[in-house]
Chains A and B, each alone.
Chain A
Amino acid sequence: MADKEQFVRFEKVDKSYDGEVLVVKGLNLDVPKGEFLTMLGPSGSGKTTVLMMLAGFETPTSGEIYLDGDPISSIPPNKRGIGMVFQNYALFPHMTVKENLAFPLEVRKMQKSEIDEKVSNALAMVELQDFGSRMPLQLSGGQQQRVALARSLVFEPRLILMDEPLGALDKNLREQMQYEIKHIHERIGITVVYVTHDQSEALTMSNRIAVFNDGKIQQISTPDVLYEKPDNSFVAQFIGENNQLKGKVKSINGNSCIITTDSGEDINALKVNINNVGDVSTISLRPERVAINSTEQFENVFEAKVKELIYLGDHIRTRVEVCGNDQFIVKVPNSYKDSNLQEGSTVKLSWKTSDSRALDLG
C-alpha cells in the first residue's frame, strides 16, 4: 500500500501526439486518496489529455503514472478499475438504464442477485428508482447525467474520472448537479479527478484545483487560495474577474513593491511574481476589492473617470478609466448608501496594497 497522499501520482509525464508539439509537459501531480481534484483550463491546455492518460485511452510519451503505488501505463483501460463519466454520458443507447448499470457488473461475472441489488442501490443513490426500464434517450439530460454517474460508481472503482460531465446541461441543472456530485463525493469518499473549463464549477466542487495552461499546471491549490492569491497573471485572469494594470517595477521593499504604470502613476503592490527592479509586470486586482469614494485610508488612492454603468440588480458594474486603463471594472453594491454615480463624473478609487498583486506580464 502506497502513501495515502500519493494515491494517484504523475511522474514527469510528457505527451505528444505528433512528435513535434508537447501537449503535456513534464507533469508532476499527486492526488491524495478521497480528494476531489479539478483540472481547470482553457481548451487545448492538456487537461483532457491528462485525464485520458489516467483512464488508459492515451499512453504517456514518457514518464509514468502510478495508481495506489502501482505503475499503470502498461495496463489496458478495461483492467484499470477506474470509473469514468464522459462528456456526452456515453450511455449505451440500445440498453435500458438497468442494463447500462448492469453492464460493468456482468463483465465482472457477478451473480444475478448481486447485480440486481447493486443496480437498484446505484439507482437509489441518484434517485432514479422508477426509471430502470427506460431507454437512455427517453430521459432528460439531467437524468442521463445521473445514470452515467451511477454507472461509473456501480462497480465500486478506486477512482472516478469526470470529463466535463455537465457541459451539455443548461445553467440551472448544471448548478444542481454540481451540488449533487459534490454530495455523493462527500458521502462515499471516493477519489475524483474532474476536468472542466468552467471556473465556477471548479470553485464549487473541488478540494483542490489544478489550473492548466499550455500543457503545464500553472497553479494547484484550494479554491480560495487560487482566487485570493493567484501566482501568475494567467491564473488571475482565468479565475474570476480581474482588473489588470501594466507597468514597470520601480522599487522592491521586502514583500511589497512599487510599480509605475505606463501613464506614470505609482501603485503599491504585493511582490508575488517579479524579481528585479525594471521588470515589466501586471498588477492583478479583483473588482470587488476596490472602494469608490471611501473615507477609509488605503495605500492606493487614484482619481478615476466613470465611463459606463451597467445595472445588474444586486450590484452596479462600473467601468472607469484609471491609471491609463479604461477597461477597469468596479463592482458597486446596490445598497442603501447609494453612491449616486453618473457617467462622466470623476470619483476617488482606493484599494489596499495586499489586494493588488504584482505578477508577471502575462
Chain B
Amino acid sequence: MNQTESGPILTSDGIPLKVSLKKAERINKIRAFLLVLPLLAFILVTFLVPIGDMLARSIDDRQINTVFPKTFEVYKKWDRQGLPSEEVYKTMFFEVKNSEGYDIGKASTRMNYSKSGWKSLLKKSKRKFKKIEEGPYKEQMIAAEKRWGDIEYWKALGQMVDPTTMGYYLNAVDLKYDSSKNIVQQKENRRIYNKTWFKTFKVSVLVTFFCLILAYPISYLLATLPLKYSNLLMICVLLPFWTSLLVRTVAWMVMLQQKGVFNNLMVMAGLIADENRWQLMYNQTAVIIVMTQILLPFMVLPLYSVMKTISPTYMRAALNLGASPLHAFYKIYMPNSIPGVSAGCLLVFIIAIGYYITPELVGGKDGQMVGNWIAYHLKTTLNWGLCASLGAILLAVMTVLYWAYNKIVGIENIKLG
C-alpha cells in the first residue's frame, strides 16, 4: 500500500480508482442500454403510454371546456341561486350556435353523464337557435326549449367546470355528484358496479381456490412420477393450453347447457328428472366451472416447477425420523411448496379478476364481471372515462394485493421455476 491512508485509492497512472472503474464500465453500460433499447421503446409505446393515457382519461374533463370555454368563464360568476344572468345565456347561445356538430355531440354526451337530458336539449337547441337573430337571448332560449329555464341543468354544468373530475371513479363505485357537487349514492335502480365488484372478487377467489385444490395433487404427481409418465401427464395438462380459448369455452357450452352432454348423462343415469335439469349455463356457476378449467395450467405450472425442486429425500428423512406420511407431508412438503402455491394463486387471481371472454360467453346476465362492463362501455356507450376508471381501480386492486403479498409472504418467495 503506497497511497496515504486518507486519500482515495489510485490506479497505477494516478487516476482515482473509482473514476477509472466507471470509465472502464461505461462502455459496457452503454452496450447494455443499446441492447435493451428496442424493447424499451416498444414497451413505452405499447404499454406505458396507453396505460398513462388510460389513467389520464379516467379523470380528464377538459374536452367540454374546449367546446364552451367562454360560457364557463362567465358561468363561474353565477351565484347558483336562481337562473343565470343574460350574459351566461348569451355566451352559451353563441357557443352552441357556432360550434361544430361533432364537437357539440361529444360534449353533450359528457353533459348527459351529469344530467340526462342535456344531449337532446343541445341537439334540439342547435337547430332552433338558427331562428334567433338578436338578443336578449335568455327569454328566447327558454321559449325555444323550456329546459333552458330549469336551474338543475345549469347546476349540473358546474360539475364540468374543472378540467379534472372524480366523477368517473364515483360512478365506478355507484356514487355520483349531485347538482351541488356533493357525493351521493346512485339511485337504487342504477347501482350495478358495487355488486359487480363483489361478484368479480367472489368469482376470482373461488376460481383461484378450485384451481389450487385441483392443481396441487396433479402437480405433486407430475413432480414425483418417473420422467416418461410425467411427460405424458404434462402434455395432458398443456393440451388444453394449446387449444383456442374460444373453442374450449364453446365446448363447455355444449357440455353444460340444459340439453347438453352433462345434463343428458345425468338424466340417462336417472340421477335427475328430465324436467329438473340443472341450470349450469349462463350463470355464475358456469363462469366458475369454465374459468377454473381454463386457468388451471397457470396454477399447475408454477406449482410443478417448485415441487420439482423439493428433494424426495426430505419426505424420506421425515419418515425416517418417525413422522407418519401425513404428518411428514403437512410439516415438510407443504411448507416447501408454499412459494409455488403463492405464485400460482397470485397469477390465477390476477388473470381471473380481469377476465372478459368467458363471462361474456357463458355468464349470462348473472355472470357478468367488471371486464364485461369495461367492454360494454368501451364498445356500446363509448363512455371511455368510466372504462378508464374501472380499469384503474382493477390496476390499483392488483397493486395493493401484490404489495400485501410482498409484506406477508415476501416476493422473493415467488418461484416460477
Query: What is the 8 Å Cβ interface bit string for chain A, positions 59-87, against chain B (1 contact, 0 not)?
Result: 00000000000000000111101111011
Q: Which residue of A lies closest to B321 (CB)?
A: A104
* B interface: dominant SS: helix
In the assembled complex, the CB of B312 is this many whole angstroms from the nearest CB of chain A, namely: 9
Contact B323 A92 (CB under 8 A): no
B322 interface neighbour in A81, A88, A91, A93, Cβ under 8 Å: A81
Q: Sample 5 A-B pairs with CB under 8 A, ordered by A number.
A: A77-B320, A78-B322, A86-B316, A92-B332, A107-B323
Contact B322 A107 (CB under 8 A): yes
In the assembled complex, the CB of A279 is this many whole angstroms from the nearest CB of chain B, namely: 45
Residues of B with C-beta under 8 A to A155: 321-322
In the assembled complex, the CB of B337 is this many whole angstroms from the nearest CB of chain A, namely: 10
Residues of B with C-beta under 8 A to A87: 313
Complex alpha-carbon distance, A284 and B322, angstroms: 47
B313 interface neighbour in A56, A90, A107, Cβ under 8 Å: A90
Asked if B318 lies at the interface with its beta carbon under 8 angstroms from chain A, I say: yes
Query: What is the 8 Å Cβ interface bit string for chain B, positions 301-335, against chain A (1 contact, 0 not)?
Result: 00000000001011011111111110110011001
Q: Which residue of A lies closest to B320 (CB)?
A: A84
B319 interface neighbour in A78, A91, A152, Cβ under 8 Å: A78
Contact B335 A94 (CB under 8 A): yes
Contact A78 B323 (CB under 8 A): yes
Residues of A with C-beta under 8 A to B285: none
Instruction: Name A residues whose Cβ lies closer than 8 Å to a Cβ of B.
Output: 55-57, 76-79, 81-84, 86-88, 90-94, 103-104, 107-108, 151-152, 155
Complex alpha-carbon distance, A77 and B325, angstroms: 10
Residues of B with C-beta under 8 A to A79: 322
Contact B324 A88 (CB under 8 A): no
Residues of A with C-beta under 8 A to B336: 92-94
Contact B324 A78 (CB under 8 A): yes
Complex alpha-carbon distance, A83 and B317, angstroms: 9
Known A94-B336, A103-B321; judge A86-B313 contact (CB<8 A).
yes
Q: Which residue of A lies closest to B334 (CB)?
A: A94
Known A94-B336, A107-B327; judge A76-B319 contact (CB<8 A).
yes
Contact A84 B317 (CB under 8 A): yes
Residues of A with C-beta under 8 A to B318: 92, 103
B321, B328, B335, B336: residue with the most chain A Cβ atoms closer than 10 Å: B321
* Other 19 A-B pairs with CB < 8 A, given A78-B320, A82-B320, A103-B321: A56-B319, A56-B320, A78-B323, A78-B325, A78-B328, A83-B320, A83-B321, A84-B316, A84-B317, A86-B313, A86-B317, A87-B313, A92-B336, A93-B336, A104-B323, A107-B324, A107-B327, A151-B321, A152-B320
Q: How many B residues have CB within 8 A of the partner chain?
A: 19
Residues of B with C-beta under 8 A to A76: 319
Contact A57 B316 (CB under 8 A): yes
* A interface: dominant SS: loop
Residues of A with C-beta under 8 A to B313: 86-88, 90
Query: What is the 8 Å Cβ interface bit string for chain B, positions 325-357, against chain A (1 contact, 0 not)?
Result: 101100110011000000000000000000000
Contact A90 B323 (CB under 8 A): no
Residues of A with C-beta under 8 A to B311: 88, 90
Residues of B with C-beta under 8 A to A56: 319-320
Residues of B with C-beta under 8 A to A108: 322
Contact B320 A107 (CB under 8 A): no
Contact B322 A55 (CB under 8 A): no
Q: Which residue of A lies closest to B314 (CB)?
A: A90
B314 interface neighbour in A55, A57, A92, Cβ under 8 Å: A92
B311, B319, B322: residue with the most chain A Cβ atoms closer than 10 Å: B322
In the assembled complex, the CB of A58 is this many whole angstroms from the nearest CB of chain B, namely: 11
Contact B320 A55 (CB under 8 A): yes
Residues of A with C-beta under 8 A to B331: 103
Contact B321 A107 (CB under 8 A): yes
Residues of B with C-beta under 8 A to A82: 320
Residues of A with C-beta under 8 A to B316: 55, 57, 77, 84, 86, 90
Residues of A with C-beta under 8 A to B314: 90, 92
Residues of B with C-beta under 8 A to A94: 335-336
In the assembled complex, the CB of A183 is this many whole angstroms from the nearest CB of chain B, namely: 23
Complex alpha-carbon distance, A55 and B315, angstroms: 13
Q: Which residue of B lies closest to A148 (CB)?
A: B317
Residues of B with C-beta under 8 A to A91: 317
Complex alpha-carbon distance, A111 and B331, angstroms: 19
When A and B form their complex, which 8 residue pairs have the shortest distance between CB atoms, in order from nearest?
A: A104-B321, A90-B317, A90-B313, A77-B319, A84-B320, A107-B323, A94-B335, A78-B319
Residues of A with C-beta under 8 A to B322: 78-79, 81, 104, 107-108, 155
Complex alpha-carbon distance, A52 and B336, angstroms: 24
Residues of B with C-beta under 8 A to A78: 319-325, 328
In the assembled complex, the CB of A92 is this many whole angstroms from the nearest CB of chain B, namely: 6
Residues of A with C-beta under 8 A to B328: 78
Complex alpha-carbon distance, A78 and B318, angstroms: 8
Q: Which residue of A lies closest to B325 (CB)?
A: A78
Complex alpha-carbon distance, A294 and B52, angstroms: 93
Complex alpha-carbon distance, A77 and B319, angstroms: 6
Complex alpha-carbon distance, A124 and B305, angstroms: 38
Q: Which residue of A lies closest to B324 (CB)?
A: A78
Q: Which residue of A lies closest to B338 (CB)?
A: A94
Residues of B with C-beta under 8 A to A151: 321
Complex alpha-carbon distance, A78 and B331, angstroms: 15
Contact B317 A92 (CB under 8 A): yes
Residues of B with C-beta under 8 A to A152: 320
Residues of B with C-beta under 8 A to A93: 336
In the assembled complex, the CB of B314 is this many whole angstroms from the nearest CB of chain A, namely: 6
Q: Which residue of A lies closest to B328 (CB)?
A: A78
Complex alpha-carbon distance, A56 and B327, angstroms: 17
In the assembled complex, the CB of B344 is this many whole angstroms from the nearest CB of chain A, namely: 18
Residues of B with C-beta under 8 A to A77: 316, 319-320
Complex alpha-carbon distance, A59 and B323, angstroms: 19
In the assembled complex, the CB of A83 is this many whole angstroms from the nearest CB of chain B, namely: 7
